[in-house]
Structure 1
């Protein structure tokens, strides 16, 4: 048994429509979260977040702020993986939702209230709350 390290980046993409804020969620099996994926060796965390979101969902975003990171362990065969995920807040720039079926089952924009109900992990809910506070300051300017 060995411990391997993984580094991923992703984020919360938001858009405003009809005076309401929507965020992008992805579903894999029965778990709802934010789009993310592995950082390539020569890539910055920011570039990885933008690229992975587009690859997984078809949605293009522009980074507004850094939200923080989470780390956890999981098992992959006989290995223990120590994973770090870096999250960013991104403003929707364009694109149509096109889920990358090899990675995720579904991608959808939902209201912040609906996202809070759907998200599977408490840490994601904390990032959502932080993102919501930042978005409110952006919109009131």
Structure 2
């Protein structure tokens, strides 16, 4: 069984109307969060920061108090773990990485939850919303 690992984050920012989250539409057509494969000897945190920067051009700060893992089989004979943190956008204009991402959008939480494609991602996003309500203001 081949094992794969990716890391990323649910990226948020606060504006006058409250918190918004960043969703990306992958070139394969699904809506999710920025993430990507661990390279070389990177830590989970280093991978998440690098992938967010590559896919969106945003600089973020990670909140590692929130760490959730989604496990699934992307193809026969493989198991993949995707580790998600919460990240707050600090700077940078959104610029999608055209090789992998067709668009990026800041959305309020309800709209984002409806747009997220995969059930595992929706469940982790719901947990993130609860965490944000408890720890951010």
Give the TM-score taking structure 1 as reference length. Answer: 0.89
- Name 1:10's counterpart in structure 2: 8
User: Structure 1 residue aligned with 2:114, among 112, 117, 121?
Assistant: 117
Contact 1:67/1:130, CA 8 A, preserved across alignment: no
Per the alignment, residue 128 of structure 1 pairs with 125
Does residue 79 of structure 2 align to residue 82 of structure 1? Answer: yes
Structure 1: stretches of 5+ with no match in the other structure: none
Kindly name which structure, 1 or 2, has the bigger radius of gyration based on alpha carbons: 1
Offset of residue 74 of structure 1: 2.1
Q: CA RMSD in A?
A: 1.4
Question: Within 5 A, what are the aligned runs for 1:96-115?
Answer: 96-115=93-112
Contact 1:63–1:91 (CA<8 Å) still a contact in 2? yes
- Report deviation, 1:19: 3.2
Aligned residue pairs, count: 135
SS across alignment from 1:22: strand
TM norm structure 2: 0.91
- Structure 2 unpaired stretches of 5+: none
